[in-house]
Chain A
């Protein structure tokens, strides 16, 4: 899985890909971390878990990233090293069970991403795996 920060005049965009939807979601979340911090220290902070349900795959990605921003503010940690397991789709309900390492703010030089947006959002499956594009408000 991989991600790249893409050019955007005012904000920051993340383009991510993965062999599976799980890997793709985690890669976007890693991109969210990278948009907030250039160097995340290894081995600092405890992992925490989160689960989100939504009605479409795009809205699931939106809600998952929004939950990470919320957890950041209430736990006072920068979520990093993301893992995600995405299920559903068939009955109109999508779910992600995820975890992240919460790096305490005093251990990083981090900036704030305000929110995830739907603007230009893409989540699509191609012959070589899943791709996603998300713009973050900073």
Chain B
């Protein structure tokens, strides 16, 4: 048996790229890490595995706690973590979703080629930076009232459509058609709404960005055709979330759950994992609030995308429809969703981690928590929009501002291995404090421009240093592992042209 010595724990190799942390002590289930040995070297370098082991203590966790190839240390639950908790007798944990509810990525395609954009990069980056609010206190493209916030929380992208920030095709290409039916705006606090009303249509800061990219490689012609992707095509990638409204919502429920379900919390190794028991009032309220915050994040990305269309109209002096600027897809990577999954059970009806121990299979309703992980449903699943149902859900995995990003499609084995999930990005390698010691923002910007023809503009030089390409894992390796595992198949690779950051 091949093993990997990770210090405090030894992992058993199940097969290529699948490592298991055995169940020990109070762990309810084993944990699995989906990674190459090279990535595992990085994953085991910080507290990721300790946090993954802590996640296995959550009530109702099914099969195993999962770490994706891009996993790294977060708070409470690791980033790159997936935990599926039984929706009947398990729990839902705000910390296993994260503060930035529905932080995610959307990609917009165009009919422009890299040739069309060359020579306009400076104008484009300046205009995007001037027109898309970013950074701390940058406001939003739409200054709303609390009433507007309520409508957004209730209706999601349908609100954007009613207010001329969207076209019907945008909804058809968004998960859940841009509206979570379980959203409950009354479950969002006034404090959260106060923070949200000035941030509708804003990037924020940190690792959030808007990037103009060119498609450099197509790996699967048939799927790329279904996604309307071709080599040399220009696309736009938007990465941000639910802003202060989502952060406050996570915080509000973490504290309420801590006070109400102290007994459950006392059984967990980390206060940040505070969880509401399935069926409790707080579990339902948090789910309603989280779904409403999901709607807010979708509208946030929708408004930024629509404003980007207007910027392209100015820069290229053409109607955005003539440039065929269409939403490819919008994926969340901080979310929990009630989903039905087939699991193997033993003679007692207990879910087993290893299918070899299963006597039959049952369908269970689960709260699938994906924190720094992306849903990656394969072809045929009814949750995948009709436009993509024949080929599988688009999955968008951003790299850093100096490396490529990827478009994948949900892989055939994702339902079986990872509750229909794959990685969410390159994953950080280096701390922000270390990054600022190693890099200067201005030097990074100059190097990107002179060596790679990438135009970067940011509110803060420190942000550029903290997000330098060298602070991230190798996104090519992350995607290679996902593809090899069959959980997310490579479709195309893109490379940055212009990037704006907060």
A interface, CB within 8 angstroms of B? 5-12, 36, 38, 55, 58-59, 62-63, 66, 69-70, 72-74, 76, 78, 105, 109-112, 114-121, 135, 137-138
Cα distance, A58 to B270, chains bound together (Å): 13
The 4 closest A-B pairs by CB, nearest first: A119-B75, A105-B137, A118-B271, A117-B75
Query: B428, A9: Cβ atoms under 8 Å?
Result: yes
Nearest-Cβ distance from residue B89 to partner chain A, whole angstroms: 25
Q: Check if A7 sits within 8 Å of B135, measured CB to CB.
A: no
A112's contact among B46, B205, B431, B434, by CB below 8 Å, is which? B205
Question: Is B22 engaged at the interface, CB distance under 8 Å to the other chain?
Answer: no
User: Are the CB atoms of B432 and A110 closer together than 8 Å?
Assistant: no
Q: Is the CB of B74 within 8 A of A76?
A: no
Question: Which chain A residues border B100 with CB–CB below 8 Å?
Answer: 114, 137
Given contacts A73-B198, A111-B136, A119-B270, contact A9 B433 (CB under 8 A): no
A110 to B199, CA, bound (A): 16
How near does chain B come to A109, taking the closest CB pair, in angstroms? 5
Does B46 lie within 8 Å of A9, measured CB to CB?
yes
* Chain A residues closer than 8 Å to B365, beta-carbon distance: none
Q: Other CB < 8 Å A-B pairs besides A111-B135, A112-B205, 18 of them?
A: A8-B431, A9-B428, A9-B431, A11-B75, A55-B259, A70-B248, A73-B244, A74-B195, A109-B460, A111-B462, A112-B135, A112-B502, A115-B247, A118-B95, A118-B272, A119-B74, A120-B75, A137-B98
Q: Is the C-beta of B429 less than 8 angstroms from some C-beta in chain A?
A: yes
Residues of B within 8 A of A78 (CB): 136
Contact, CB under 8 Å: A115 / B99: yes
Residues of B within 8 A of A36 (CB): 136
- Are B194 and A121 neighbours in the complex by a CB distance under 8 Å? no
Q: Are B46 and A114 in contact (CB under 8 A)?
A: no
Known: A105-B136, A110-B136, A114-B247. A137 touches B99 (CB 8 A): yes
**Closest Cβ–Cβ distance, residue B416 to chain A (whole Å):** 29
**Does B374 interact with chain A (Cβ within 8 Å)?**
no
Do B191 and A70 touch across chains, with their CB atoms under 8 A apart? Answer: yes
Q: In whole angstroms, how far apart are the Cα atoms of A119 and B93 in the complex?
A: 14
Interface string of B254-285 (1 = CB under 8 A from A): 11001100000000001110100000000000
Bound: A114/B249 CA distance, A: 12
